[in-house]
């Protein structure tokens, strides 16, 4: 199984290098281990995260693409769908099948037709449009709903920090 996963990851890496999505760079941390990737995601335009460059890691299971990778930002983040330790919480990264809580439909969750590129584009979209109803960071979700100005100030501080300006 791991051999198939490796071939798939190598193909996805090649696709990302040939045709990279705008604002995203991603690939294996080293060529000895294709199951650990690093990514740099540029904050989307017209959002509080605009201009930031946010590093993250992806950890792929040996049965990829049957199971989703795990993704974690390696810089400080404050966002409704990112746990305080940086782990990303979005539907596309949830195991396939029915949601035990009944919140997500199975079509929103991971499936083997997904790809690293789709994950990263989903994360960019998540940065632009948080889902405060399914919060991983309750403080960020509450602030997003109730005090958008303060949320934006914190996000802009994080942007400056990722650029080494603080």
Active site residue 89: yes
Q: Which of 82, 84, 78 is nearest to 93 (CA)?
A: 82
Distance (Å, whole) CA 14 – CA 122: 20
- Residue 160 and residue 154 in contact, taking contact as beta carbons nearer than 8 Å: no
Phi, psi dihedrals of residue 64, rounded to the nearest 5°: -55, 135
DSSP three-state, residue 19:
coil
C-alpha torsion sign, points 17, 21, 25, 27: negative
Longest dimension (CA), the chain: 49
Choose the catalytic residue: 89, 90, 92, 126.
Answer: 89
Q: Which of 81, 93, 76, 73 is nearest to 126 (CA)?
A: 81
Distance (Å, whole) CA 104 – CA 155: 27
Active-site residue set: 89
């Amino acid at each position: 199984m791991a051999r198939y996963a490796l071939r798939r990851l190598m193909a996805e890496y090649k696709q990302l290098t040939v045709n990279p999505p705008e604002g995203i760079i991603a690939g294996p941390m080293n060529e000895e281990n294709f199951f650990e990737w690093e990514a740099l995601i540029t904050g989307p335009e017209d959002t509080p995260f605009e201009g930031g460059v946010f590093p993250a890691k992806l950890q792929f299971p040996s049965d990829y693409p049957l199971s989703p990778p795990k993704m974690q930002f390696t810089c400080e983040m404050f966002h409704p769908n990112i746990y305080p330790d940086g782990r990303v919480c979005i539907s596309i990264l949830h195991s396939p099948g029915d949601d035990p809580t009944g919140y997500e439909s199975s079509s929103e969750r991971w499936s083997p037709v997904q790809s690293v590129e789709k994950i990263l584009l989903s994360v960019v979209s998540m940065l632009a449009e948080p889902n405060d109803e399914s919060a991983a960071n309750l403080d960020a979700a509450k602030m997003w709903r109730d005090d958008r100005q303060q949320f934006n100030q914190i996000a802009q501080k994080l942007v400056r920090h990722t650029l080494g300006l603080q």
